[in-house]
Amino acid sequence: MTVDAADSEALDSEVADTYGLHVRYEGDDDPEKCTARKLARFDLVELHRSDRVTPYGVVLNPHAERALSPADADAKRLVALDCSWESAGEARFSLPGDHRALPYLVAANPVNFGRPMRLTTVEALAAALAIFGRRERAAALLSKFTWGHTFLELNDEPLRRYAECDDSSEVVAVQGEYLDRGEE
Ligand SMILES: C[S@@+](CC[C@H](N)C(=O)[O-])C[C@H]1O[C@@H](n2cnc3c(N)ncnc32)[C@H](O)[C@@H]1O
């Protein structure tokens, strides 16, 4: 088989499975607690050690100007950056791709439980899948963590409402309701 044919076959299988899940893995966080490494052990994501070899896709970036919405659901790949929060500044997100921030959601992981927006890599990927209407696949990723199901429970209503939006501006409007509640 030619290289091109092999590439195209690999791409077809990603598309058939709807989304290829990729992680640019920095490796500066506690490897014992790293959610991306655990997902990779179960072959649920592919880890990449440099920006250059990380495939193009929708990049989950908390600093991005545009919010993720169902309008992005035709993407072939979701890409997260697994690094420590200390090194997750804007400049670190130099990956090629369509950068999107997740809307208001609350973390369920033991390190940042209850804290808005500070999601682990598995929570971020699962949230994106849920917003794209792939709730079962989101649950499958989270099922590898004892606290994983809590993420979908805590965020059940916002995730369902974001998944019903048409585009980023609608998602931002829904998010505004949750942010306002937090300020009351
Ligand atoms: C900073 S790393 C921390 C990973 C952690 N060490 C772990 O074990 O999962 C989390 C990654 O998830 C994605 N992420 C988390 N919160 C996000 C948000 N609010 N919007 C977009 N992406 C987010 C980003 O790709 C971010 O770099």
CA of 83 to the centre of ligand 1 (A): 8
The ipTM (two decimal places) reads: 0.99
Closest CA to 131 of 69, 49, 89: 69
Q: Is 146 annotated as a binding residue?
A: no
- Which residue has its alpha carbon closest to ligand 1 atom 5? 120
Pocket around ligand 1 at a 6 A CB cut-off = 29, 33-36, 60-62, 80-83, 85, 88, 101-102, 117, 119-121, 124
In order of 41, 51, 101, 102, 178, the CA distances from 116 in angstroms are 28, 27, 13, 11, 10
Q: Which atom of ligand 1 is least distant from the CA of 37? A: 8
- Helices within the chain (DSSP H only): 3-16, 35-41, 121-131, 135-142, 148-154, 156-163, 168-183
CA of 29 to the centre of ligand 1 (A): 12
pLDDT by residue for the chain (184 residues), tens only, comes to 444 445 544 444 443 457 899 999 998 988 888 999 999 999 999 999 999 999 999 999 999 999 999 999 999 999 999 999 999 999 899 999 999 999 999 999 999 999 998 999 999 999 999 999 999 999 999 999 999 999 999 999 999 999 999 999 999 999 999 998 866 5
Q: Is 102 annotated as a binding residue?
A: yes
Residue 129: exposure state from Cβ atoms within 10 A (0-12, 13-18, ≥19)? buried
Domain segments of the chain: what residues? 3-183
